[in-house]
Amino acid sequence: MPQQAQYHKTREAVSRLGPEQYRVTQQDGTERPFANAYWDNHEPGIYVDVVSGEPLFASVDKYDSNSGWPSFTKPIAKTNVVERKDSSHGMMRTEARSLHGDSHLGHVFTDGLPDKGGLRYCINSASLRFIHLDDLENAGYGEYRTLFTSDTNTDTDDK
């Protein structure tokens, strides 16, 4: 099973990034809406940092915000997503970064689903790697299968 200490940013991991992944995660970029890998992904699984592999979001918390980017109501573990003030582009926003990979993920907005806490984690697909529910065990994330059981989750569809 993965341990928190195993998640970290390395030069090798950064060198494996594609140009768009590098621009988004390392240079605080934003990918185009509706033209990214996961905005319309409805498969069950988790999303991990493309650089460090740390678990960030689960499909059970993903919903269609009509923004063109993957949107989540909450992270798997709040401690893995660091929130920072962002005043770039002439506006005040809250940036979301991964704790161990220090990857720029996207932004957090307060226009999310009211019955799920009201937050919208608007995340760039380029900063994520999706691991399907069926592959969690083999990929070393088997402990996250519990996110998809009816005992721990009553809302399993991607809205």
Q: How far is CA 91 from the centre of its chain?
A: 23
**Structure confidence by residue, pLDDT tens digits, 126-142:** 999 999 999 999 999 99
In the predicted model, is pLDDT for residue 23 greater than 60?
yes
**Residue that has been written with the tokens 């992904």 in this structure:** 41
Contact 112, 118 (CB under 8 A): yes
- Read off the tokens for 117: 């806490």
67 catalytic? Reply is: no
Choose the catalytic residue: 122, 131, 133, 147: 122
Domain annotation for the chain: domains and CATH numbers: 4-146 (2.170.150.20)
The 10s digit of each residue's pLDDT in 72-102 is 999 999 999 999 998 776 778 899 999 999 9
What order of strands is seen across the sheet that includes strand 71-72?
62-63, 71-72, 120-123, 104-109, 93-98, 81-86
Question: Which tokens in the block code for residue 98?
Answer: 């991964």
pLDDT at 5 over 70: no
**Residue 3 binned pLDDT confidence (cut-offs 50, 70, 90):** very low
Of 127, 128, 119, the closest CA to residue 43 belongs to 128
